[in-house]
Chains A and B, each alone.
Chain A
């Protein structure tokens, strides 16, 4: 008689993802069976997110306990596939909050889609599941799976409108180029495996502490391809060319969510690989990341200057922000980066919520002319957009300033003074294009009437503006949280 011992499964490590997946399936089943009002589906997704967030609190407490009483190994679950360190839990929490905000911001789109609204909700939940797995994975293949679950959901979301519009084109482009990037990423993983014989991130680190690699070319090519693949997801230059077209073409209700999710997960994965798996190789990758960072900041902020479409402007500003966030990785620390990613994600969702209100939730394109005199038409909406844009620009007393200060000082401390100078230059340039929109809103006249802002959008904007101002005036709690959320 052979005794089969089932391995002990630490379910808590994947509880948020389980809840999310169940929620997504539940939404679809309920839709098929009862065809309820969209409100009901919204309630289901809200409950799902709240339960998932609750589980992240449990995980946070457990990670904290493990830190205090030892037993860090227990945080690695599912035979080394998943980690439950503070870094993963922080990332999950932020992703879940952004999913909630994203759903609220896109609620008008969900309503307009009628019966297909359930698909949109399910896709948002599934994308969150995927990216959540991605930030929590300790295994590069697992990470790839999470990336694909998340990305494929986003490709579909990018084309999800009630009418045939440019959204189809955007979705197709995003899909083709995204697949290309995913292929490059997994090829990089394969080469890294070829060079080290390991797929687990902690094992790769172990490998480099034990061995000195005399001919690291294969490993370095693998690492380069991984950087390229993730660089695409976070729209860093020169892998950003999809972003303006997709941001412009996809329905505005989901763009903020799409961009925020891909950025959060992409940066966290990149930080985990570079800073946890291969910190020993930083002589090689630091200059490259610094180069990508500088290029992104300069390309993003200069091209944003000449954009006449607010969404393309935000896309290029996103390229610049990718560069700013990369300075945090160049700084070799994750605190500043986590803070930056969080506050930027909120600003991004808030900004696209404004776009969705001004141009309609399923629109493609959003010319700056539509914003002329917005502050007269709808003072609150204009003020909210102005605060969010100033937050992105990094005006003191907004979260953007604290975020920039954090990552820049980390890079400075790590000896990358030139990068900080480039970053400051890019910040100055970026003020010009953010202010262009604000000037258009406040200085120009308009005959148009006021805009009705839906309740959901009001909530999103209130939260985004409050978050931007609060984290600018009182950043310490979030900074402390980010500082506690280090990777194993």
Chain B
């Protein structure tokens, strides 16, 4: 089966190519079904190819499709190991459900086929990223998902906000990618190859701590951009301009987790640098808290979910920084389920409300949309960490592992605990504002449950959110034994062995989540005037949160404006006179040179003969002088 794993990438790629050329000839729902079929088949291939890993102990292997530049280890090769299989299954599985949902969500859009072309292209790129067997190919996938993200955020590009959000996402990611690129150069300088096999085997013996720290932190810079951590998270909230399925697929379940995957994949390098690990974990914890507080006061349903995603990604980064790779990847999976569900549910709600995204104008939707309501309710409890739902097990494992590490990490554990409380609060607020209470709709809106094609993916994701956590409970560590071979040589952070400590720590995080839920429940079950007064009573902090700490403003003033001024200055103060001057100068030089040699190019044979002879004389003299 391993020989055909290239199909996992090829199927969605073929779908994208086919739809690009023939999409316009295919009637509306069918291009969506075709794209969904492509990625679903790719899921089946991944599942079948992963069978050896389910039995445990299998290490996987590298499949060389063809050599491109063997000299620098940049070949088209795929590493099919448990980690790659795990990522591939999450991407294709959740991806397929979101594809199906989008068939209903995008109904009637003029560029229906084009949307699925991009979705399939994204899937192929993301799979290239996770299945790559070397850093060069990973970088290729990394950049391609960035491109697809750009295309899909700006899918409704006639809206200026969508177009500028797409640009913002692309440019902010460029900052992180710059670090990533330098990391690749350092890796090549240190090992002479970019191939995983070459790098990881020799990392322990050949990397100095300083070099390992440099590479690790530069790789992390890439992860910070892609996985929306402080300080580069600002693109993700804006990216919500894209259609809801895009937010679910790219900005919740898959692409944004690429940074976590990158760190997990490079565990052999991070292991050599405790300093880098501490920095990674700290950034993750701070991001988790920072974004959670912003999520409290947002009124736009997708903005809440965006900040919530940043916060949850913070948890995952905290986990991989603590070397709790299994916990981090576990949370990556459960988060993919419940956050995709939340985004799709939000899409269903927005769909029903004719595009309204302001939660203040919702309320009482539960009666109108039972399926959406129930499934989103499950997701809310899951993300808040209520047992036995998915989020409980994975978040708990992260916090327990962080606690076990001790020292500075104890502080991070407290931050994580506080974040869990806030998470319970803002998610319950979201659920209650949308579904409970009295309707606060604008006139003319008639909410209705979404069609089957949208609700079925919701139900499937709700089931996955419910039972997904059972794949890795302290009683039965299925996922861990699945992933184990990929991290055999790495010391992985684990939850406390002592059962009593484990139970206490778990209880604390459940209590935190429950306290958040209870607080929100007590606040938002009252009439709107009451909680609105409360929110206003919390000024100015509420306003600061609502304004996302004004970071966009600060960046605008501190970075963008001076950047523009600097660009102006370089453009007109340096580029025009110096660079253009040099270019024009060179051009003039070349022209003069051309004019100078033109007399030689007379067209007369005698002149050519003379030139030829002159050259011959020079060569003869040179060779003889050099040789004798």
Contacts and interface: CB of A to CB of B under 8 A. Distances in A.
Interface string A431-445: 000000000000000
Contact of B620 (A177, A221, A473): A221
A475 B68 contact: yes
A469 B448 CA distance: 53
B522 interface: no
Given A224-B624, A228-B616, A288-B619, A476 B608 contact: no
A306 B626 contact: no
B597 interface: yes
B626 A217 contact: no
B558 interface: no
Given A244-B601, A245-B603, A288-B622, A220 B66 contact: no
A284 B625 CA distance: 8
Contacts of B68: 473-476
A36 B601 CA distance: 44
Contacts of B605: 172-173, 176-177
A402 B69 contact: yes
Interface residues of B, number: 33
Contacts of B626: 283-284, 287-288
B612 interface: yes
A167 B601 CA distance: 18
A281 interface: yes
Among A172, A215, A283, A284, chain B packs the most CB atoms within 10 A around the CB of A284
Interface string A237-252: 1110110110000000
Contacts of A242: 608
Given A173-B605, A224-B624, A284-B626, A232 B612 contact: yes
B134 to A, nearest CB: 15
A225 B620 contact: yes
B620 A241 contact: no
B575 interface: no
B615 A228 contact: yes
A177 B609 contact: yes
B594 A228 contact: no
Nearest to A406: B71
A180 B607 CA distance: 13
A165 interface: no
B70 A409 contact: no
A227 interface: yes
Contacts of B624: 217, 220-221, 224
B584 to A, nearest CB: 13
B628 A238 contact: no
B472 to A, nearest CB: 40
A474 B66 contact: yes
Among B70, B607, B620, B623, chain A packs the most CB atoms within 10 A around the CB of B623
Interface string B609-621: 1011011101110
B215 to A, nearest CB: 24
Nearest to A284: B627
Contact of B593 (A172, A176, A220, A302): A302
Given A225-B616, A244-B601, A306-B590, A476 B627 contact: no
B367 interface: no
B69 to A, nearest CB: 7
A184 B628 contact: no
Interface string A141-166: 00000000000000000000000000
Given A221-B624, A303-B597, A474-B68, A180 B619 contact: no
Given A176-B605, A217-B628, A285 B614 contact: no
Given A283-B627, A476-B66, A177 B608 contact: yes
B67 A476 contact: yes
Contacts of B609: 176-177, 180
Contacts of A476: 66-68, 70
A405 interface: yes
B622 A241 contact: no
Given A177-B605, A181-B612, A224 B594 contact: no
A220 B71 contact: no
B600 interface: yes
Contact of B623 (A176, A284, A303, A475): A284
B24 interface: no
B107 interface: no
Given A221-B624, A281-B627, A284-B626, A303 B594 contact: yes
Contacts of A224: 616, 619-620, 622-624
Nearest to A474: B66
7 contacts: A221-B623, A224-B623, A224-B624, A287-B622, A288-B626, A306-B594, A474-B66
Interface of B: 66-71, 587, 590-591, 593-594, 597, 600-601, 603, 605, 607-609, 611-612, 614-616, 618-620, 622-624, 626-628
Given A220-B627, A242-B608, 19 more contacts: A177-B605, A177-B612, A216-B628, A217-B624, A221-B624, A223-B623, A228-B616, A237-B615, A238-B611, A238-B612, A239-B615, A245-B601, A285-B627, A288-B626, A302-B594, A306-B594, A405-B69, A474-B66, A474-B67
